[in-house]
Structure 1
Amino acid sequence: MNSIGGVFLVFIIAGTAYGLSLFNPLFDPLVFGIVIGVLVSNLLEGKEEIKRGSELAIRVFLPVGIATYGFQLRSTPGLDRGMILIIFSIFAALFILTYVLSRLLKIANSTSTLLATGTSICGASAIAVVSSAIEEKEHSTSAAILSIMAEGLILTVFYLALQELSNTGQNKLSLLFGSTLPMLGLVKVLSSNLSEAFYQKALAIKYMRIFFLLFTVPLAMAINSVEKRKIKIPVFMWFFFVFVLAVNTITVPDELVRALSRFSAVCLTITLSAIGLRTSIDSIATLGFRVFLVPVFVTTAVALVILLI
């Protein structure tokens, strides 16, 4: 199998992951791409041809996927200033607490940044963007995404029980789902039991969190520049920022934004499938169980505070 064969394998994995997402929004294609990639990688361990093919896929699709992801960072209409302040406060609490606790547990600075980003914003997509900005190692990126996936599943079980066993109001639930769940698909699934108005509110809150990625990328780069003593901004990140600016300052047709969003999702699914193929389970295991514990602990604590207020 040459490098083209390796690229073909990446496409098969990405196609499978993306196809699953079309049946149910619960299946995040980026998460499933990296999960399947890691599993296949360990079945075909040591195949140099696969590594070359996955490296080629990353070089081609990562810059395009990250750059066009900028079109998704549109400010969310329909939220008043008070609600935006609440959302930002929850976002800041999730980011700071996750980062600080990770560092206290001696998790590497860059990995702590990825965990904080995934917990506070939008799971796999946000981690993919920040990981490329700070040039993080592939096994750390994989571990962070798998950690956020585990957090999302645990929160889903907790929130389903909360809906069934308590009389928590829909207004509180929409805030809880939109501000703490790591993946958009999970927000859609859990909010589907709410009224249409509160369903839309939960999505608006989630989209506002995604918009905060605009500030998180430079913050992550600044945090990691202290350790590396330099800031290196990849060219495609400049396009990312330009596209974010464009979509928020000029009128871009909704059809074009949706098409570019789907295109970005496909490119990032291919990228993360390739990253998974270059990651061994052993390399993830070296990071320890604490990588999976921190996001769950922090988000659960913040969720309980929201419920008690």
Structure 2
Amino acid sequence: MDMEKAKDIFLKFRGIHDLLDRGLTIREIIFWLAVVVCLLPGMTAPIALVMGLLFVNLLGHPYAKSGAKATDYLLQFAVVGLGFGISAEQAFTTGKEGFIMTFIAIICTLGLGLIFGKLLKIDQKTSFLVAVGTAICGGSAIAAVSPAIKARQHQISMALGAVFVLNSLALFLFPPIGKFLGLGAEQFGTWCAIAIHDTSSVVGAASQYSDEALKIATTVKLTRALWIIPVAFLSAFAFGQGKGKIKIPYFIGLFILAVLANSFLPSVKLIAPFIDHLAHMALCLSIFLIGCGLSRKLLFAGGLRVLGQASILWVIIAGLTLLVVAL
């Protein structure tokens, strides 16, 4: 064994040794206790979100650097896992019925977003990111489009902050409104999928309504999320950034595979309920972690004008979509 290999082994061993010797801080202990609470039966998405918001704004995030990636992976696992509770026939029918409404909503939202952005004198890229986040799927759409148009970090933060504020409100507002109006599972699921920004908030709100609403909302939402790809490509050319990078949401393909496996593989059907249960647990935990990422600085990064643009867009799209599904 040469000296370089011996040195590498020594450093790895020393790193593990140091890790074992390192004690947890009180903040880290409270964080892990909160994680355990999120996995308990009866936990709901709104409670998990509030726990995360309180934790980060009172104590700070102990794992801020690695938290964002972990949250993304966990949410993607939850969404793919929900696919094991949906049949291919149901997914196809729901996706086909929601396609036209989704297309119209995206076109209208992008157009209105740019108009309101000009009226409120918001810079073009920030305004466009808010419109894209509202039209397609919130933070995921902003993350996908921002490198395509080469947006700056402060523009991304402003758009994310405005969208996340409204996502948080949606978790609390949509289920009571749906029940007050007597919406059926299909109506509520479709409304959630088109009117709420982020996938996490869509499935979080729908999960409070019914299992049927959750299945419909997840399917229509992921059909809507596929629009990230063409919109990101068109955005790159519209802003003169033809070589901009584009993030493609590959986990949607895994969701489709999960639906197909649940529908056509008998052996998968046996374990599908267990995977679906794990997905629900992962969903609550991911929403808690999303809450832990919403510090006051991020939530109010854009100020009143950007939040105003996002709010006006959201109210219009949510109102029109509700009117259509309720008729």
Aligned counterpart in structure 1 of residue 303 of structure 2, from 253, 266, 285 = 285
TM-score (norm 1): 0.65
CA-CA distance at 1:53 after TM superposition: 3.9
Report the Cα distance in structure 2 between the residues aligned to 1:177 and 1:37, rounded to whole angstroms: 31
Structure 1 window deviating more from structure 2 (9-18 vs 104-113): it is: 9-18
Q: What amino acid sits opposite 1:229 in the alignment?
A: G
Q: 2:73 aligns with which of 58, 64, 76?
A: 64
Task: Give 1:180 shift.
Answer: 0.5
Match of 2:279 among 251, 257, 261: 261
> What is the rounded CA distance, in whole Å, between the counterparts of 1:153 and 1:190 in structure 2?
12
Match 2:323 to one of 301, 304, 309: 304
Could you say which structure has the larger radius of gyration?
2
Cα distance per residue 1:7-30 (max 9 Å; x no partner): 8389469638836x853545274x
| Structure 2 letter corresponding to 1:232 | K
Q: Given the two structures, how large is their TM-score scaled by the length of structure 2?
A: 0.62
Q: Distance in 2 between matches of 1:269 and 1:174?
A: 22
Q: Specify every segment of 5 or more residues in structure 1 that has no aligned partner in the other structure, as ranges.
A: 45-49, 119-126, 164-171, 192-198
Q: Deviations over 1:234-281 (max 9, x none)?
A: 59x55x356345425554541564366357536744652443137344
Aligned-partner residue type, residue 181 of structure 2: L
Q: Is residue 109 from structure 1 mapped to residue 128 from structure 2 by the alignment? A: yes
Q: Do 1:71 and 1:243's aligned partners in 2 also have CA atoms closer than 8 Å?
A: yes
Contact 2:98–2:220 (CA under 8 A) maintained in structure 1:
yes
1:105 positional shift: 0.9
Matched, 1:91 2:70: no
Residues 203 and 71 of structure 1, relative CA distance in 2, 3 Å threshold: closer
8 Å CA contact 1:148, 1:295 repeated in 2: no
Distance 1:80 1:37, change over 3 A: closer
Amino acid at match of 2:276: R
1:101 Cα deviation after fit: 1.8
Write the mapping of 1:235-246 to structure 2, written as runs, cut at 5 A. 237-238=249-250, 240=251, 243-244=254-255, 246=257
The count of corresponding residues between Structure 1 and Structure 2 is 269
Q: Give a deviation string over 1:57-92, Cα, whole Å, max 9, x none.
A: 224x14533553562474644549765433222333
Contact 1:58 1:275 in 2 (8 A): yes
Q: Which whole-Å CA distance do the structure 1 matches of 2:157 and 2:94 have between them? A: 36
Amino acid in structure 1 at the alignment position of 2:28 = F
Distance in 2, Cα, partners of 1:7 & 1:225 = 42
Structure 1 range deviating more: 86-95 or 50-59? 50-59
1:110-259, aligned counterparts within 5 Å?
A: 110-118=129-137, 127-134=138-145, 137-151=156-170, 153-163=172-182, 173-181=184-192, 182=196, 183-190=202-209, 200=212, 202-213=213-224, 215-226=226-237, 227=239, 228-233=241-246, 237-238=249-250, 240=251, 243-244=254-255, 246-248=257-259, 250=261, 251=265, 252=268, 253-254=271-272, 257-258=275-276
- Between the aligned partners of 2:139 and 2:30, the Cα distance in structure 1 is 17
Contact 1:64 1:267 in 2 (8 A): no
- Do the aligned residues in 2 keep the contact of 1:94 with 1:116 (CA within 8 Å)? yes
The CA RMSD measured in Å over matched residues stands at 4.2
Q: Which residue of 2 aligns with 1:295?
A: 314
Q: Distance in 1 between matches of 2:235 and 2:27?
A: 31
CA distance in 1, matches of 2:258, 2:297: 35
